[in-house]
Amino acid sequence: MSSELPEWSRRAFSEPRLKPYLDACHGDRARAWRLYRWNIEISQAFYGSLHCLEVGLRNAVHDRLLERYGRADWWEAAPLKKHDAGKVAKARDDLRRKGVGHPTADDVVAELSFGFWVSLLSSSYDRHLWVPSLHRAFPHYAGRRSALRDNFQTMVLLRNRIMHHEPIHHRHLPADHAKIYRLLGYLEPEVVTWLQGFDRVPEILGRRPGGEGGGHA
């Protein structure tokens, strides 16, 4: 196998983008190219489980807060911090720019980011959201709120790296995968069973290019 990267790869992906892979492979261009392709494959495979986690968290939190405040646009009554209220306002503005003249509560819920929903599990909302309501969004969890929030936050960071096409090969990906399943189990165990029927992460982890960039996050 040639030790050089295909010429078109430099035009399509650029040397600076390929550099982290070259560094991980100690300058071996053939190994770096294999690792780059595998990073795309494993990122693609994680999409399904992260999709389930983000949508599951969003709906669980939304349902509990709708119940607490008695209105679908509960953010109008909840004591949101300025930063989080700003995210709601931005979601409405973004929807209008997309041509949604009168965004519904469901429109806003779908527009809000994974990070927004995780932020509602922070200590600043202990008194008004977690204790009276949000702990019930996780019927199969009995631990501390802070640990739950931290675990979700690591998944936000993984999700953002994947969606911004960044390297994830250096992470402890089997641990990330196990964490997603654990968090899904806190929300709804039956989703875990359903997801296992088509989740490709274990398969692709099993064919990682040998010896390439095997670090941890």
Would residue 28 count as lying in a domain? no
User: Would the pLDDT of 1 be above 70?
Assistant: no
Inter-residue contact 63 to 56 (CB < 8 Å):
no
Residue 31 lies in a domain: no
Residue 177's Cα: distance from chain center in Å?
11
Q: What is the largest CA-CA distance in the chain?
A: 65
> Does some domain include residue 36?
no
Write out pLDDT tens, residues 35-44.
999 999 999 9
Q: Is position 83 within any domain?
A: yes
> Which tens digit of pLDDT belongs to each residue from 126-151?
999 999 999 999 999 999 999 999 99
Q: Which residues contact 159 (CB under 8 A, 6 or more apart)?
A: 50, 54, 114
Within a domain: 15: no
Structure tokens at 126: 């202990």
Tokens 């509960």 -> residue:
74
Residue 59 domain-assigned (yes or no): yes
Q: Which of 7-21, 87-101, 137-151, 172-186 has the lowest mean pLDDT?
A: 7-21
- How many domains is the chain partitioned into structurally? 1
From CA 41, how far away is CA 213, in angstroms rounded?
A: 15
Residue at 7 is within a domain: no
Which pLDDT band holds residue 4 (cuts at 50, 70, 90)? low
- What's residue 212's pLDDT? 64
- What is the C-alpha radius of gyration for the chain, rounded to an integer number of angstroms? 20
Domain span including residue 162: 44-202
pLDDT tops 70 at residue 3: no
Residue 171 has pLDDT above 50, yes or no: yes
pTM of the model: 0.90
- What is the per-residue pLDDT across 73-122, written as a single tens digit (0 to 9) for each? 999 999 999 999 999 999 999 999 999 989 999 999 999 999 999 999 99
**Within a domain: 107:** yes
Note the pLDDT tens digit of each residue in 23-34.
998 988 889 889
